[in-house]
Amino acid sequence: MPSTDLGYLTATEALRLFTRRELSPVELMRAVIERAEKVEPRINAFTERLFDEALEQARHAEDRYLGRNGLTPRPLEGIPVAAKEKHAILGRSLTEGSLSKEGDIATENAPVIDRILDAGGIIHARTTTPEFSIATYTHSRMWGITCNPWNPDFTPGGSSGGSAASLAAGTSLLASASDIGGSTRIPAAFTGTVGFKAPYGRNPGLGVLTADHYRGDGPMARTVDDVIAFQNILSGPDPRDHASIRPKLTLPTVYEDVTGMRIALCVRLGEYDVHPEVEANTRATAQALADAGAHVEEITLPWTHHDLLTAIAGHFSTIFGAVVSEATETHRDLLSPYAVAFADVMSYARTQVSYLDSLRAEHRLQRQLATAMAGFDALLCPTTAVPGWHAGDDLAGDKVVVNGEEVADTLWCAMTNPFNINNRCPVLNVPSGMSSWDVPTGLQIVGHPYEDPTVFCVGRALEAVRPWSYALVQDRLS
């Protein structure tokens, strides 16, 4: 296999090749590094390159596959993994893309990092985010603009935009992500990758925000099987995170087909204005499941923008927004304009919406979803309301403007926050198609609370009936 193709191997296939001694971890790592050096100047997905250390670790992985020193391969042995910069690595920078935190050094590994390393994964690079991971795009004063490999005029989304861009560009096989309002699913949608928002507590986190029931760390990859393999490494309790769930859930690797499953389709999630191309791709994906034997029924949800905004405003202003506001008190001049704007909006929101107000709205939204999903195994809906937006755009106006045309209300261009509000629901993003803007669109597969295997069953079925290819993006970056 040519080295230019090795970056697009799936992790599961790479592990099979390692085991058969048909591919060396060193050979794979060299190919990934070679590709990164070629495409990174155009994509800018990495904040830090750990290539020398990664090659040394790949040599140790090779020894394990050869049975040297009495060691055996671990579950992710030798797989190149890109880590989101906000996932702390002991002794390395922990800036979250903010000049206000320049020079900060991590004092311990985040649980996601420990689990990657303990499983034999090799972290060869760290990936970009917007400042404090607060945006649905990825650029900052510290790291510049990260571009979408499919179409560099567009963003890969955020906040896990660097992780998603790396996967789509063939410069990693797995990538870590996090999600507090769509930070895994939005970039997965825009880059044609697969991302999983685990139910709250499924994967352990680090620090005070582990108590925020909207957020959680999770896996990204290019296939559903790879996400399953990665998620099985990340899940399980950790004493540093009181909310982490015991016992560990191990996802099956073999699933029945979707014949007879009852699946709900909801295109607008209440009041979202969905771009026609996103809607068409969503419906085509739902039809593919119906053709595969599932019973697909379109439903409506009574969700209102008012309840969604109340839940989001009260929650974010009380917790996440307050964290960012602390930075503006002493380092306002160092922050990106969108970070300052976010902090100011959250400060205002705290005077208008109480946390109790937000909990009441959350409760209504959660009950309405439970009622709508009763009798169904899963729910399908778009991941974003529009196919994308331009790289470097702060989305500072009331409207998302693409190619000079107003295409959506800025606040409602992503359709992910409702499932952070419904935070115990597992949600898997898979590709739903391509848009005329030359960027992919995504589909959310939503399960009942803590019924993770169901979303992977549906995701695997979709991957089989609507296979996704990276040949186009590979050619564009060649």
Is 436 a catalytic site residue?
no
Please tell me the number of Cα atoms within 13 Å of 351 on its side-chain side: 4
Alpha carbons 296 and 9: distance in angstroms, whole number: 33
Exposure string of 422-431, with b = 16+ CB inside 10 Å and e = fewer, is bbbbbbbbbb
**Active-site residue, selected from the candidate residues 183, 317, 358, 435:** 183
Q: How far apart are CA 339 and CA 135, in angstroms?
A: 9
Beta strand 80-84 with 46-49 is unpaired
Distance between CA 292 and CA 477 in Å, rounded?
34
Q: What is the distance between the alpha carbons of residues 154 and 374, in angstroms, rounded to a whole number?
A: 38
CA dihedral 229, 34, 22, 57 (to 10 degrees): -60
Q: Tokens standing for 237?
A: 């309790």
In order of 262, 284, 379, the CA distances from 299 in angstroms are 12, 16, 9
Q: How many CB atoms lie within 10 A of CB 22?
A: 9
Closest by alpha carbon to 309, among 382, 358, 265, 370?
Answer: 358
CB 134 within 8 Å of CB 24: no
In whole angstroms, give the CA distance from residue 310 to residue 350: 11
Cis peptide before 358 (omega within 30 of 0): no
In the chain the first and final C-alpha atoms are separated, in Å, by 16
Q: Assess whether 325 carries a catalytic annotation.
A: no
- Which helix (H) or strand (E) segment holds residue 190: the answer is helix 185-191
Choice among 98, 133, 159, 166 that is catalytic? 159
Establish whether 183 is a catalytic residue: yes
Which residue has 């005029």 as its token pair? 153
| C-alpha 424 chain-centroid distance | 17
The position carrying tokens 């004092």 is 107
Cα(392)–Cα(338) distance, rounded to whole angstroms? 11
> Can you say whether the dihedral through the CA atoms of 48, 52, 57, 59 is positive or negative?
positive
Report the catalytic residues. Answer: 84, 159, 183
